[in-house]
Structure 1
Amino acid sequence: MFLKKTNKPLHYEDRAKSAKPTMIILHYTGMQTMLAARERLTDPTSKVSAHYLVDTDGQVFDLVPEDKRAWHAGLSYWHGETDINSYSVGIEMVNPGHELGYKPFTSQQMQAVMDLCQGIQSRHKIEYVLGHSDIAPERKIDPGELFPWEWLAGHGVGLWPKPTDADLQKAEDISCNDYEVERLLTQFGYNPMGAYVDVVSAFHRHFAPEKFKTGEQEKVDMDTVVKLVSLVRQSGNKLVV
């Protein structure tokens, strides 16, 4: 991982009430090049910033100090918290995104993201590693269904479903009841006020990306429920409404 600092003026401020980071939020830039993304993230008129920018070759740009509040999350929510910027470290990854030719993230880029996240986890008590689409499912779809969340979780960054026999039994009891699924999504952390279909799609984008190949990303099935039950158990979250 090659870490570079930038001295350009950026949009950042103190975290609210001396908040400490408990989340890592991953984004894609949605721009064609690293230079274009860096210019936007360091443009005083853009009103957007992130702590880090990771290029496709694994180069990492250190843009905002981790103890400061960057402007990357926007209107968002996770497990009762709405000021996500104050409680997160934001990482932008160079990728054209869905509008400009979405493509897989490179191995060099992912190695750098893994190293970066592991470092952040060593410095802060990180509870959640999420995508922009998880915290803003009605507005955002990044980093998208091609992002290798399972691989990242295998290296100790973020959660991935690991169903137990008890999880399978609980999922069978719940079946695909929309009310119970919605409660589980809320318990895991998703916004209870979000449109159900958008939240389900966001969950699948993160934890069942294969559904996007078949066009079933809005459909809840037993695979959805089993994964959700497993994740709620692993997170230890209580229901917040």
Structure 2
Amino acid sequence: MRCPERAIARLSDPEAEVSAHYLIDRQGRVVRLVPESERAWHAGAGAWGPVRDVNSHSIGVELCNDGQMPFAHAQMNALQLVLRGIKARWSIPAARVIGHSDCAPGRKVDPGPRFDWTRFARLGLAAPTPGGEAEGDLQNALARAGYTSNASIEAKLAALRLRHRPHASGPADSRDLGILKGLAGQAAIDPVPANG
């Protein structure tokens, strides 16, 4: 949503069954909606790696943006500070900073193609896009890299590309598999704790 007041109202409405720990508006104002130690309902039925209840194992940050407009400079600066603090307080490695589109492919597309993942990777606040090419089975490569939701293989590939290759199209290729191989290597170094 573009309007922070409408976003706050929706994220605070129990009937909407959606919430987040933080909301950052386009002016960089950070609104804390749920304490970090409590569960928020921002990921829906998301999955990442062995985690099947992402809501109980994550801190949700929502950005006021309709998905089509560029992200405001003040908003990105505020997000940078919020992420730095969350990562420090909870010892979260960069490989575990994901978007809704990563954990809920096919259902969610945010933060969207205009989000500057490269900036946050360069700052150590998100995983960088691995280089190289590889061969192998796409479904297994997606699962090893963390894309373990029940979404279709096409939705998972679209989510991978949305974040790491936003201009790619067509069938999966050796570059997609190279990215997945690199992401799986990062996950192996820093495995996500399993849960029920």
Partner of 2:54: 84
Deviations 1:89-133 (CA, angstroms, capped at 9, x unpaired): 000000023xxxx11111111111111001000000214011111
CA distance in 2 between partners of 1:162 and 1:74 (Å): 28
Distance 2:77 2:116 in 1: 11
TM-score, normalised to structure 1's length?
Answer: 0.74
Take 2:50 and 2:38, find their aligned partners in 1: how far apart are those partners? 21
* 3-state SS, counterpart of residue 35 of structure 2: coil
CA 1:112–1:221 in 2, change beyond 3 Å: closer, same or farther?
Answer: same
Percent identity of the aligned residues? 37
Rounded to whole Å, the distance in 1 between the matches of 2:60 and 2:149 is 23
Higher share of residues assigned strand: 1
Equivalent pairs, count: 189
Of the three residues 66, 70, 86, the one matched with 2:36 is: 66
- Of the two, which has the highest radius of gyration? 1
- Alignment partner for residue 120 of structure 1, among 75, 78, 86? 86
- Distance in 2, matches of 1:46 and 1:193, equals 23
State the 1:221 CA deviation: 1.9
In the alignment, which residue of structure 2 is the partner of 1:209?
166
Question: Considering only aligned residues, what root-mean-square deviation do their CA atoms show, in Å?
Answer: 1.8
Structure 1 match to 2:110: 142
In structure 2, do the counterparts of structure 1 residues 77 and 192 end up closer, same or farther at CA, with 3 Å as the change threshold? closer
Gaps of 5+ in 2: none
Unaligned 5+ residue runs, structure 1?
Answer: 1-30
TM-score (norm 2): 0.89
In the alignment, is the contact (CA less than 8 A) between 2:104 and 2:149 conserved in 1?
no
Q: From 232, 236, 240, give the equivalent of 2:184.
A: 232
Q: 1:210, CA displacement in angstroms?
A: 2.1
1:200 aligns with 2:157: yes
Q: Deviations over 1:129-162 (max 9, x none)?
A: 1111111102111111111111111111110124
Q: CA deviation at 1:34?
A: 0.9
| Mapped contact 1:118–1:156 kept (Cα < 8 A) | no
Report the Cα distance in structure 2 between the residues aligned to 1:106 and 1:232, rounded to whole angstroms.
32
Give the aligned partner of residue 44 of structure 1: 14
